[in-house]
C-alpha cells in the first residue's frame, strides 16, 4: 500500500497538539489541585480510580503510577462497579472518576452510590460544565481544545492530558511524602532498576572464590591459584596480608611477551600495583560504575583494609543489574 500523505508531518502534528494541550492544562494547577493532594495525604483509605472505555485504560495507568510511588490505589471498572464491585469502596477511600465528557452514563449512575458509601469523589474531566464536574467533591480540570485526529473524535489528546494530570498528582504526593529512591526500591524489587537501588556488593561476592597470593610467591605457583579459583585474577598481599596489587590475565600476557623463562619471577615483580577496590557495604551499581570508569572487569572487595572477596563484571551481568 502506497502512502499518499506526508506521514512524518501528521505524526509531528499529533505530538505537537498533545504537547500543547499538556502545556495549557498547567494553568489549571491551582489551590484546588493542592487541596486534593492534601486530602489524599490526610485520608486513611485508598485512591480508587474508575472509568470506562479509554478512560478505564488511563485509570489503570494512574493506579499503577500511584502504587509505585507510595499511594495505595485500586482500579475499579465503572461498568463492573454497579454489578458488585462497589463493595470495594470504603468510607475512608477517595474515588477518582475519569470521563472526558463528564457525562458518561455509567459514571453518572456511580457518583451518588459512591457518595452514599461515605467516600469522597474526585472528578477528572475535560468538560467543566458536566455532571461529574458539578457533583464531584473535587475536580481535576483536563480541558482540551480538540483531539489529535482530523475528525476530533478518537480519544488521543484527552487521554494524554488525563494521564499527565495523573502523573502530576502522583509526583506531587511523592514529594509531599518525602518518598526516596530507597522507598522506590521497596516497590520495584525486580528487574535492573530495583537491583540498582537495593543490591549490595555483600549480596554477590560471597558466591565467588577468593584467590590471594603473597607478593613473594613465584608466578608459576600463583598461576595455579588463579586457575583453581577461576576468576582470571588474584589479589596480591604482603607478608602482613595488606593489599599491594592484583595479578590478572592481562598481567600474565604482558609477562609472557617479555620473558621466556619465568620460573624464578615473583608475582610482586609483574603484578599491577594499587588495584581498584570496592568496600563490602557499597551498592553493586557503584561497583559497576567504577568498572566502567576504569575499563576493568573485576574489583577486589575490601573491609577495614582486609581483602574479603572479588567482584567480576560477569557477576553483575548475571544479576541483571546491567
Task: Compute mean pLDDT per 10 residues along the chain, 322 residues long, and list them.
Answer: 76 95 97 97 96 96 93 94 88 97 95 95 97 97 94 94 98 89 63 65 87 88 79 86 88 85 86 91 88 90 89 84 67
Kindly report the pTM of this predicted structure.
0.67
pLDDT the model gives residue 198: 67
Q: Which CATH number is associated with domain 7-179?
A: 3.40.50.10490
Please list the residue range(s) of the chain that carry CATH number 3.40.50.10490: 7-179
Spell out where the chain has E strands: 47-51, 73-77, 94-99, 120-125, 138-141, 212-214, 233-237, 243-248, 272-273, 277-279, 298-303, 306-312
CA distance 42 to 32: 15
Q: Which three cell numbers stand for residue 21?
A: 494541550
CA distance 69 to 175: 10
188 among annotated binding-site residues: no
CA distance 183 to 206: 26
Q: Which three cell numbers stand for residue 34?
A: 493542592
Q: Which CATH number is associated with domain 201-319?
A: 3.10.580.10
pLDDT the model gives residue 196: 63
Please list the residue range(s) of the chain that carry CATH number 3.10.580.10: 201-319
CA distance 284 to 290: 10
Amino acid at each position: 500500500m502506497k502512502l499518499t500523505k506526508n506521514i512524518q508531518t501528521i505524526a509531528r502534528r499529533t505530538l505537537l497538539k498533545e504537547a500543547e494541550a499538556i502545556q495549557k492544562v498547567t494553568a489549571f494547577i491551582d489551590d484546588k489541585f493542592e487541596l486534593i493532594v492534601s486530602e489524599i495525604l490526610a485520608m486513611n483509605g485508598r485512591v480508587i480510580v474508575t472509568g470506562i472505555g479509554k478512560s478505564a485504560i488511563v485509570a489503570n495507568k494512574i493506579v499503577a503510577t500511584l502504587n509505585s510511588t507510595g499511594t495505595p490505589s485500586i482500579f475499579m471498572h465503572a461498568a463492573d462497579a454497579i454489578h458488585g464491585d462497589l463493595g470495594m469502596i470504603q468510607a475512608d477511600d477517595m474515588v477518582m472518576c475519569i470521563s472526558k465528557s463528564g457525562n458518561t452514563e455509567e459514571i453518572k449512575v456511580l457518583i451518588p452510590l459512591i457518595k452514599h458509601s461515605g467516600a469522597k469523589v474526585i472528578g477528572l474531566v475535560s468538560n467543566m460544565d458536566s455532571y461529574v464536574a458539578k457533583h464531584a467533591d473535587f475536580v481535576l480540570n483536563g480541558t482540551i481544545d480538540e483531539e489529535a485526529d482530523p475528525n476530533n473524535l478518537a480519544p488521543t489528546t484527552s487521554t494524554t492530558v488525563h494521564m499527565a494530570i495523573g502523573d502530576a498528582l502522583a509526583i506531587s504526593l511523592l514529594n509531599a511524602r518525602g518518598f526516596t529512591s530507597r522507598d522506590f526500591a521497596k516497590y520495584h524489587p525486580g528487574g535492573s532498576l530495583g537491583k540498582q537501588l537495593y543490591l549490595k556488593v555483600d549480596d554477590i561476592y560471597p558466591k565467588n572464590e577468593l584467590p590471594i597470593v603473597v607478593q613473594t610467591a613465584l608466578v608459576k605457583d600463583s598461576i595455579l591459584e588463579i586457575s583453581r579459583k577461576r576468576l582470571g585474577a588474584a589479589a596480591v598481599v604482603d607478608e602482613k596480608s595488606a593489599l599491594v596489587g592484583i595479578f590478572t590475565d592481562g598481567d600474565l600476557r604482558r609477562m609472557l611477551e617479555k620473558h621466556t623463562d619465568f620460573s624464578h619471577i615473583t608475582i610482586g615483580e609483574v603484578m599491577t600495583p594499587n588495584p581498584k577496590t570496592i568496600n563490602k557495604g557499597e551498592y553493586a551499581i557503584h561497583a559497576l560504575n567504577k568498572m566502567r570508569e576504569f575499563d576493568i572487569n573485576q574489583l577486589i572487595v575490601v573491609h577495614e583494609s582486609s581483602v574479603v572477596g572479588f567482584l567480576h563484571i560477569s557477576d553483575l551481568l548475571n544479576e541483571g543489574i546491567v
